[in-house]
Structure 1
Amino acid sequence: MQSPLCLLFDNDGTLVDSEILLANVMAELLPQFGLPFSAQQYMEEFRGIRFYTIVQLLEERHGVWMEERFAALEAEMRALMEKRMRAQLKPIPGMPDALQALAAHPKAVVSNGPERKIRCALESTGLAHHFEGRLFSAYTLNVWKPDPELYLRAAAAMGHEPASCIVIDDAAVGVEAGLAAGMQVIHLNHFPEDESTPQGAVEIRHADELPEVVARLRRMAQA
């Protein structure tokens, strides 16, 4: 029998319910630096996108340049976000049970966030033991989704070919990266009324669907 498929999980919005926390933090801080912004705007337009890229897009949109103040803004944002995560962060509903059901599969976290943020999120929600330090951060590898290279490097480090990997991601940039990497992709779609799942990916709407879909994809890979 073939080895279990390698599962590559996004973090924010996939494993942990951090997106709304980040949206609120950014909505508090960005206007203080002269960049109009709302939590709704993050959720509708910027989920999963690198913070630096978001600031660049807002600079161009509003004609406010942050080059000299960006480091201070990012440091303040990271500190406030970590405080909020440790106090308020919860796992995505159904995800702890899904991870337990998938215990036989090798797993890693592949995120556009910094490694410290990933560790904080997993520790705060009690999910860290499922991954045992197998964390791949865009900030460490210097490549960000939707570039498929982030998932490809994670797969190589885990000792798996792309075809034997499943990406689980909630954001468009991550789904795009997984498909471009030649991997099977499960799209955890929290907003099916507003977002469509790209062709080639499998849509689920709740984490409790994940074990069955992974089992089906494994059977297909073995056929």
Structure 2
Amino acid sequence: MSVAQSSALRCLLFDCDGTLVDSEILLADVMGAILPEFGLPFSARQYMDEFRGVRFQTIVQTLEARFQALEEDAFTQLEAGMRARMEAHMRSQLKAIPGIPAALDQLSHHAMAVVSNGPERKIRCALESTQLGHHFAGKLFSAYTLNVWKPDPELYRKAAAAMGYASHACIVIDDAAVGVEAGLAAGMQVIHLNHFPDEETTPEGAIGIHHADELPAAIAQLG
């Protein structure tokens, strides 16, 4: 057993969008603008209600099945345009989720990593724009790099292995249903940062909190 596994301290695996940074509404606005330009009806509200945390390609494929297929090679152009607009929005407008900077300061004695369905460039942009990157020391795990996307639990399992921790020694912190599902299926303890308690229910087996300032106490309780 490794030193990390034998330690009483847990490895904290953070989702990025909606958990560390308040990017969901920015992404919703970008998607609500660009998808209709390519003939796929979509709104910002629809992203928040139905697709939070879901892989972009999966969203597009779902819309294609509902409405119409994109023209040949249009997806590459669509994704590039979406990423460029989103990066510009993030660099000018992105903020950390309220309470997260202080919570990360309190949790700095734990090993911590970011595990996201987004591309690594987007993760880095988010952490740079909100000055949170120093908490993670480059320990960033992107679904695009590992070629597996939440809700597949393998994304969290691969991140845990790379960090040197067994699944049972990890705590997932995620705001989206796909991430909570992935963490539970990976055999990890899960804290659901539930921003919409009147609309969303925390799944059985996860701990629900409503504000990031509750996070240190929740992790201490699990420990």
> With structure 1 as the length reference, what TM-score do the two structures score?
0.96
Corresponding position of 1:116: 121
Would the aligned equivalents of 2:22 and 2:97 in 1 still touch at CA under 8 Å? yes
Corresponding position of 1:198: 203
Of the candidates 26, 29, 32, which is equivalent to residue 34 of structure 2?
29
Corresponding position of 2:45: 40
| SS of structure 2 residue aligned to 1:45 | helix
Change in 2 beyond 3 A, CA 1:101/1:139: same
Write the deviation string for residues 1-42 of structure 1: whole angstroms up to 9, x where unpaired: 933100000000000000000000001100000001000000
Would the aligned equivalents of 1:59 and 1:66 in 2 still touch at CA under 8 Å? no
* 1:1-150 alignment, distance < 5 Å: 2-150=7-155
* Alpha-carbon RMSD: 0.9
Q: How many residues align?
A: 218
Change in 2 beyond 3 A, CA 1:182/1:67: farther
Structure 2 distance, partners of 1:28, 1:39, is 8
Q: Is 1:210 paired with 2:204?
A: no
Structure 2's unaligned 5+ residue stretches are: 1-5
Write the deviation string for residues 192-223 of structure 1: whole angstroms up to 9, x where unpaired: 111000000000000000000101101xxxxx
Structure 1 distance, partners of 2:92, 2:13, is 26
Would the aligned equivalents of 1:13 and 1:19 in 2 still touch at CA under 8 Å? yes
Identity of aligned residues (%): 71
| SS of structure 2 residue aligned to 1:209 | helix
Structure 1 distance, partners of 2:83, 2:105, is 30
Structure 2 distance, partners of 1:4, 1:21, is 34
Using the TM superposition, give the Cα deviation of residue 68 of structure 1 relative to its aligned residue in structure 2, in angstroms. Answer: 1.9
Of the candidates 168, 174, 179, which is equivalent to residue 169 of structure 1?
174
Structure 1 consecutive aligned stretches of length 4 or more whose deviation exceeds 4 Å: none
